[in-house]
Chain A
Amino acid sequence: MNPGKISPAERLAQLPKGLRNNVSDRSLPLGPQAKYTNPPMPSISQARGKRFRRSPRSFPLYLLASCLWLVPAKAQEPEADHNHDRQFAIRVGTLHPVSGPAIESGIILVEGHRISKIGKQGEVDIPEGAQIIDLPGTHAYPGFVDAMSGAFLQTRELKNSSVDGGTRIVDGLNPYDQISLGLVQAGVTTAHVSNRSEGIWRGLGTILRPRSTGFDPMAGKEEAGLGLRMTSGKAPRHILTRKKQLQAIGKSFEALEAYKEAFTKHEEASEEYDEKFAAYLKYHATKKDDEAEPEKKKSDEGEATDKQRRGRRGAGRRGGGRRGEGRRGRPEGKKPPAKQPKPEDEEKAAKPEEKPEAKGENKPADSKDEQAEKAPERPKFPKAPKKDPAKEALLAVQDGTLRLRIEAHRPDEIRAAISLARTQKIQHTVLEFATAAGAFPEELADAGIPVLLSAVDASSARIYGVEDRTTLAAQLTEAGVPIAFTSGGSNRRSQHLPMLAAIACGHGLSEEIALRAITLTPAEILGIADQVGSLAAGKFADIVISSGPLLQSDSRILRVFSGGDLQFEAN
């Protein structure tokens, strides 16, 4: 081998594998070394029938390899896998489980994302290899649940008039909203995000878990509640105007019956159609066999009819198969129908124009003894009713899958909400604000409707005709109505949930109920009390570590864990 001169075989070997096939190096000797020569270019007519490969043979392999990068993004924490087995213990000064009495010198055992055990230090065995976090003198609380939050909402969503009952709020969230990113620092580990739009129906709220870098939707709770605005707002309006509005809302439910019926009818009609069509086909297939006439039709049309028929069985909406069927049904010798039916018009039902012809033509040919009865009619394809997401949401509310969240302030609005829940037999109704409910809390208690409060601080402004909103929490609790303190849609207020609880205590609520109202009670109201809301074995490890008792003004939040992951650490 001459140094400096590369032999053709070597040069060939240096080329990437795919190119070797197409190398048109005329210097390549044609011999046993050069196994691959440039294949001759086929002519156009030859290419038509054959497959002409321009790309290297291994191209499909490369394509597949490049597609392996397209791993579907997971909604849950991507570190789920390698954090699943971690174990650690947190030792605190006082443990406030909320679902039980406070524990001095408490310890929390975390396994993976969940709490495995809580108890007193010394009474709980720490597993081998578990990391121990020592935080003496601190107070541990469950992560807060904000049941009426505006976290990560885009502001234009609030005024969007096209929001209706079917709008999914989870689809319009912005994970980079700066103020919302401070939520988890303030201890809020679960939030129900809903819209405060001006329309009557406010879209489908979602439950999510804020993080320091965004949020995770809560599994299975992407659509958690349907919002309904049953108030005319702060501006005073005549009671008769309000009454008309409230009645109009009740009417939304009346259309549901007809909607459901349309779907059941369609189902029945579809079944019927399937049966009848099978009979129709069978009749004409047997008829065709009997007549033993070869059908003259173009090959692609035949393929088309087969495909269309198959397509109809599967998708059920193509009406173009009539072309072939019509032909099949007609006995040989008769002239084809006068006009060609239009191809695939999905919205139109099957036109019966061919039917009379087919019927008429079938009659004289009907000479068999077995088929003494008239040929079955070509059944009409049933038109599928259109799914309305707003109505679907209302149906889910009636089933109990979704919660109905009603904002009502004045007494007549609140009473209209209660009567709506009763007459429509809605399983889970939640009242938002209920500003004037202090005068008749027992009505809410009888209806079993919980209340989400926000404005518990005194204000000299007489809003919604109520002078003093400070005693509302205490009055509702006394009557047995579950209450929760929420941010009311304000992200800044979300960061002061313990202060809301403290203010309510100052106006007569017990500290225990006030603390529960930012943790376990909102979890129960949202239907997620099995996952969050208290420090209990089996729930998510959402833990807030505070330097002192939470309701004291000078207590600072030191650490926040969400699902066992440390989301905030104070410096």
Chain B
Amino acid sequence: MDGKKELKEWWLSLDGDLDPAEQKRFEEAMEKDIVLATNYSQAKTLDHALSKQEAEQPSMRFSKNVFEQLPQLYKKINIEPLFTKRALTIGVFAIGSFSVLSIILAFFLEGTTGSVESNFWSTYIHQLSNIPKQWLLTIGLVSFCLSAVILLDQFLKKQILKKKPKVAP
């Protein structure tokens, strides 16, 4: 350690700043030198007394005084998801399915003509085919975007809840 020569050996020894060889030399020197041993003993007593010092305590009203002066700065942030998990899952699935179906039907029914048959499914397809393809594509794209936003919102909120702060060593 630089500057060790200026510092008294007994303090270096008490603080653990002497390497093993130096510590051994110091102990041997103390055995031969009563003054050195006395200084070390006094320093050790003082070090022990200093280590017994306790923190000062403020008055009983301290924390109350602090709280009386605290500004209203922070409000509770709602980080709960907008929807319950089950409703969200069903909603996303339904939106996604509808958008995929719309696009597929728009693709396959292009140019389809024909008479309306009596069952519900044929009526549905026929009515679907009458919807302009651009509308179906738009509905499909909007559905995908909405699904993506909902999933992203849920993902980010989970990340905030899970995030463990890094503390410097």
**B is bound to A:** no
Interface residues of A (CB under 8 A from B): none
